[in-house]
Amino acid sequence: MTELSDCFERRLLTNTGPSTGLARKSLKQAEIFLVDAVDLINMDKSRMGTIALYNAFFHTSRALLFRDGIKERSHFCIARYVEEKYVRKGLLKADFLGHLDALRDARHETQYSLEVISLEIDMRYAVDICREFMKAVEGLIER
């Protein structure tokens, strides 16, 4: 059983009706979080910037699920869906998925760790990747 099929089996991903409208709204949320992330990074608030940047990647990914009629209950399963349905088919670059996964882990550490953590992510580069990801997803939604 693949990780993606396990996500459906455990009902962490479920089929609903496709919605281009919700996909567009999710992309709009991604844009808002990306602006916040850039502002936070520019103020040297990288921990909070990590959370905002992850949310931009999350909402960009979630837009694809809305487009395809998939409801999510797991951040991990969103990434597995994007990997299986878009990256492996050559519709999206693997780098987008790599940053989604890395930022998900960094966001989790930032939010839940009781220790001060050091971030291993080049945040400015990740912002550029997010912009590229958003543009690619917008193209997929509109076709």
Helices (H) and strands (E) in the chain, counts: 6, 2
pLDDT at residue 79, as a whole number: 98
Question: What digits encode the pLDDT tens for the residues 55-72?
Answer: 999 999 999 999 999 999
Torsion of CA 67, 73, 76, 77, to 10 degrees: -50
Residue 90: φ, ψ to 5°: 75, 15
**What is the per-residue pLDDT for 118?**
77
CB atoms within 10 A of CB 64: 23
Q: Tens of pLDDT along 15-50? A: 999 999 999 999 999 999 999 999 999 999 999 999
Three-state secondary-structure class, residue 115: coil
What domains sit in the chain, N to C, each tagged with a CATH number?
3-11+18-142 (1.20.120.330)
